[in-house]
């Protein structure tokens, strides 16, 4: 499963070298329900290949987007993101596969003597000694092994009998028996697969035998699904097609980041040698999410009085992860699997003005814009009151799920000097989708909420109090 797919988004920036010039972005389209309409044959085949490598698709790489393909994409989206398939999941898949593609050099290879084509890892293929019946290779980065040869009918019968007899499960192995086409696929000890396919071509039987251990069965299935007689189309993306546009939109969204409101709201400063902010627990291993500007330049950090250290920080996204030694593994924030809707109720929890106020502070408001300052798509505007020290705290939906991270408030005095009026309740947060991506980037899988039933405001506050804490910084 793709536990840190954001890393592959960043790796995927290389795709921009062949992308068309920048187009007007409509990022909301990325988060709509997936539909295959508009995808080309090549795009569908590319997605089928990527889903096969992820272990969700076990069918032909034929570019025909039917029930099997849709079920695979839904399973991938549910497993990785806890939601139904959306358009941006295509980009996640693409970047993940591109990372593997780039590392191993996967491409469709035509084996001239064999007169067949299949996926082959050009950069990671290692030749093995030939045997009586086969020429052999192995994949350097997995347990996948290839064997190819041309045989008589009697030899092919023995090869398929051997494969059949290797099966260890009570259920019969998968077989196909046709006049010019034979497949036998057996599960071996330990959950591995031995797959043998023979095609009758030009008066002889042309055979491919694949094997892999259990952990690498998805790779084997992808290669097996790609085998075809003769030359086969490459696995590629249609330039300026729907998939290409989704990839470029997702890349642009991540590259854009979250521009702050002029400057991020400074953490509350209880003394000349320190400051405070807010953070909330995002893993059972004691990881806490906050703003980068809360922890920037700190000589020492503490979360609710416990020593903490910075493990990841991004000035571009104004997000940071700190590690705290020991926390309640049950008191972990759950993120909403979907973006916050316009005008939906939200609650902000944090420790504003900790030198003046005491304890946790809770305010309520609504999502007043699904854009951040200056139209930043990675942010959103909220009406819940925010003060210095709220930075890094959770923005919580009516069902108790986190939909954002407080980042700043609009400088009322600056705006008043500019336009002659004082803005009311104009505060900003980083959207929960970007926060989840940041966590994935650094190997932390955020917990997702699955219930959409609204909670009583008191219950939201009580739940949030368990996973939200005060961050203190000394310089």
User: How far from the centroid of its chain's Cα atoms is residue 434's Cα?
Assistant: 11
* Domains of the chain by start residue, with CATH: 5-104+236-256 (no CATH), 116-229 (3.40.1000.10), 268-474 (2.40.10.120)
pLDDT at position 324, please? 93
Which residues on neighbouring strands pair with residue 120, listed in sequence order? 107
pLDDT at position 100, please? 81
- How large is the angle between the packed helices 242-256 and 87-104, nearest 10 degrees? 90
With contact defined as beta carbons under 8 Å apart, do 142 and 100 qualify?
no
User: How far from the centroid of its chain's Cα atoms is residue 208's Cα?
Assistant: 34
With contact defined as beta carbons under 8 Å apart, do 124 and 234 qualify?
no
pLDDT at position 379, please? 82
CA distance 293 to 264: 7
CA distance 177 to 391: 65
pTM score = 0.56
With contact defined as beta carbons under 8 Å apart, do 383 and 236 qualify?
no
Provide the residue-wise pLDDT of the chain in tens; the chain has 475 residues. 333 333 333 333 333 323 333 333 456 677 788 999 999 999 999 999 999 999 999 999 999 999 999 999 999 988 877 778 888 889 888 887 887 887 899 999 999 999 999 999 999 999 999 998 999 999 999 999 999 999 999 999 999 999 999 999 888 899 999 999 999 999 998 899 999 999 999 999 999 999 999 999 999 999 999 999 999 999 999 998 999 998 888 877 765 544 444 444 545 545 556 789 999 999 999 999 999 999 998 999 999 999 999 999 988 788 999 999 878 888 999 999 888 888 999 999 999 876 666 689 999 999 988 765 544 556 889 999 888 889 999 999 999 999 999 986 544 333 334 434 334 467 889 999 889 988 988 889 899 887 778 999 999 999 999 999 999 999 8
pLDDT at position 356, please? 64
CA distance 284 to 197: 46
pLDDT at position 261, please? 42
Pairing of the two strands 447-448 and 287-290: unpaired
With contact defined as beta carbons under 8 Å apart, do 327 and 369 qualify?
no
The candidate with the shortest Cα–Cα distance to 336, out of 392, 402, 381, 434, is 402
């Amino acid at each position: 499963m793709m536990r840190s797919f954001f890393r592959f988004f960043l790796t995927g920036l290389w795709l921009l070298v062949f992308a068309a010039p920048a187009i007007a972005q409509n990022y909301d389209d990325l988060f709509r329900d997936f539909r295959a309409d508009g995808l080309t044959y090549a795009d569908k085949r590319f997605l089928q290949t990527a889903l096969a490598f992820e272990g969700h698709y076990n069918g032909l790489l034929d570019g025909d987007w039917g029930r099997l393909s849709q079920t695979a994409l839904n399973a991938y989206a549910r497993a990785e993101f806890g939601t139904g398939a959306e358009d941006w999941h295509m980009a996640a898949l693409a970047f993940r596969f591109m990372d593997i593609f780039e590392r191993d050099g996967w491409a469709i290879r035509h084996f001239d003597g064999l007169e067949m084509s299949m996926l082959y890892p050009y950069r990671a293929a290692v030749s093995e000694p030939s045997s009586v019946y086969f020429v052999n290779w192995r994949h350097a980065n997995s347990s996948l092994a290839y064997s190819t040869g041309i045989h008589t009918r009697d030899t092919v019968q023995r090869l398929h009998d051997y494969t059949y007899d290797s099966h260890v499960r009570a259920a019969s192995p998968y077989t196909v028996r046709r006049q010019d086409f034979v497949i036998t696929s057996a599960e071996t000890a330990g959950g591995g697969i031995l797959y043998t396919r023979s095609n009758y071509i030009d008066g002889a039987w042309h055979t491919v035998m694949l094997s892999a251990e259990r952990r690498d069965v998805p790779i084997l299935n992808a290669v097996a699904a790609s085998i075809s007689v003769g030359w086969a189309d490459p696995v590629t993306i249609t330039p300026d097609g729907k998939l290409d546009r989704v990839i470029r939109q997702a890349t642009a969204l991540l590259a854009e980041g979250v521009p702050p409101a002029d400057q991020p709201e400074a953490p509350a400063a209880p003394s000349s040698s320190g400051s405070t902010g807010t953070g909330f627990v995002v893993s059972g291993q004691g990881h806490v999410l906050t703003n980068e500007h809360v922890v920037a330049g700190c000589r020492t950090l503490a979360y609710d009085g416990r020593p903490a250290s910075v493990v990841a920080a991004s000035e571009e996204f104004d997000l940071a992860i700190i590690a705290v030694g020991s926390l309640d593994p049950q008191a972990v924030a759950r993120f909403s699997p979907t973006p916050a809707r316009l005008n939906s109720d939200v609650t902000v929890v944090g420790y504003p003005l900790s030198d003046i106020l005491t304890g946790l502070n809770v305010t309520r408001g609504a999502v007043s814009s699904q854009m951040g300052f200056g139209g930043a798509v990675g942010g959103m505007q909220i009406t819940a009151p925010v003060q210095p020290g709220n930075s890094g705290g959770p923005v919580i939906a009516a069902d108790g799920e986190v939909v954002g991270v407080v980042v700043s408030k609009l400088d009322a005095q600056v705006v008043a000097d500019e336009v002659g009026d004082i803005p009311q309740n104009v505060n900003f947060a980083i959207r929960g989708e970007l926060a989840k991506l940041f966590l994935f980037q650094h190997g932390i899988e955020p917990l997702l909420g699955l219930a959409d039933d609204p909670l009583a405001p008191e219950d939201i506050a009580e739940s949030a109090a368990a996973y939200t804490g005060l961050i203190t910084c000394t310089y």
